[in-house]
Amino acid sequence: MTIVMDKNEISAQPRVRVPQHVAVVMDGNGRWAKKRFLPRVAGHKKGVESVRAVIRAAAKAGVKNLTLFAFSSENWKRPSDEVQALMTLFMQALTNEVQELHKSRVRIRLVGDLSRFSPALQQKIQESHHLTENNDGLNLNICVNYGGRWEIVEACKKIVEKCIPSQEITEDLFAQNLQIPDSGDVDLFIRTSAESRISNFLLWQLAYSELYFTPVLWPDFNEEEFNKALDWFAERERRFGKTSEQISLKEAQ
């Protein structure tokens, strides 16, 4: 039997450490478009191709959870034609891509305050959740009208509504009341376009993440760039407050 592999697959060594949860701030669409004298929306459209490439690369590498920041709660303040164009892109992406992602066993969740979206978009989101909810492949979380502080406040509200006594409130219990508890803490955070900010993304889950900032603009970010971030992560020593010696000893055992 002949197995046809591309050049990269033949030379690639399996990574020692693959992050279980990767979170990405997809930044630089506007600047990518401006450099080409194109309208900002052209950058967002090209950015959809990068989204596709990164989903494929993450699944191939064995990442279990991929969380993408697509629209923050502050992004409503952008010019209304840009906001409208982004809503259209979300609708098109869900319409065109969900069946294919479902075939690849991807579980899709849109995370954020969805109530502000049009009834048609909310309906499409619910259909995507429903169709893919039992899939056991990559967990794909797309944050829209999302803010990290909002998520923390929502978790507090849930805990209060359940009348949980204060002595029972632990970090674990709190984390279980976040929006996507099963995706867990973020191992690797990626932000494109040379900005080094967290921008109110996954504030609780980023506590011990490795932070990777790259100058590449999101529309130019592809499988190769994603793999560079994974390679960088594989070399990081994650100490979680311990000493380097303790970590080496544990790894040797």
Q: With contact defined as beta carbons under 8 Å apart, do 138 and 51 qualify?
A: no
Span of 47-55, 106-114, 125-133, 161-169 interacting with ligand FPP by CB under 6 A? 47-55
3-state DSSP assignment of residue 110: strand
- Distance in Å, CB of 237 to ligand FPP, minimum: 31
Indicate whether 148 belongs to the interface with ligand FPP (CB under 6 A).
no
Interacting span for ligand FPP (CB under 6 A) from 12-20, 41-49, 158-166, 234-242: 41-49
Nearer Cβ to ligand FPP (137/175): 137
Question: Of 73, 72, 64, which Cα lies nearest the Cα of 185?
Answer: 64
Regarding 190 and contact with ligand FPP (CB under 6 A), the answer is no
CB closer to ligand FPP out of 67 and 177: 67
> Which residue among 26, 54, 106, 190 contacts ligand FPP (CB under 6 A)?
26
Rounded Cα distance between 85 and 90, Å, is 9
To ligand FPP, the closest distance from the beta carbon of 235 in angstroms equals 28
Shortest Å distance, C-beta 211 to ligand FPP: 18
* CB-nearer residue toward ligand FPP: 140 or 230: 140
Q: Please choose, out of 26-34, 159-167, 171-179, 227-235, the segment that lies near ligand FPP by the rule CB under 6 A.
A: 26-34
Q: How far is CA 209 from CA 17, 20, 148, in A?
A: 14, 11, 15
What is the distance in angstroms between the CA of the first residue and the CA of the last residue of the chain?
Answer: 39
Q: Smallest gap, in angstroms, from Cβ of residue 89 to ligand FPP?
A: 5
As measured in angstroms, the least distance from the Cβ of 250 to ligand FPP is: 38
Among 70, 101, 216, 230, binds ligand FPP (CB under 6 A): 70
CA 217, 222, 223, 224 torsion: positive or negative? negative
List C-alpha distances in Å: 68 to 147, 202, 207, 225. Answer: 12, 10, 17, 16
CB 20 within 8 A of CB 64: yes
Q: Which residues are catalytic?
A: 27, 75
> What is the SS3 assignment for 123-192?
HHHHHHHHHHCCCCCCEEEEEEEECHHHHHHHHHHHHHHCCCCHHHCCHHHHHHCCCCHHHCCCCEEEEC
Residue 93 near residue 140 (C-beta atoms within 8 A): no
Q: Which of 22, 23, 42, 51 binds ligand FPP (CB under 6 A)?
A: 51
Footprint on this chain of ligand FPP (rule: CB under 6 A) = 26-31, 44, 47-48, 51, 68, 70-71, 75, 86, 89-90, 93, 142, 193, 218
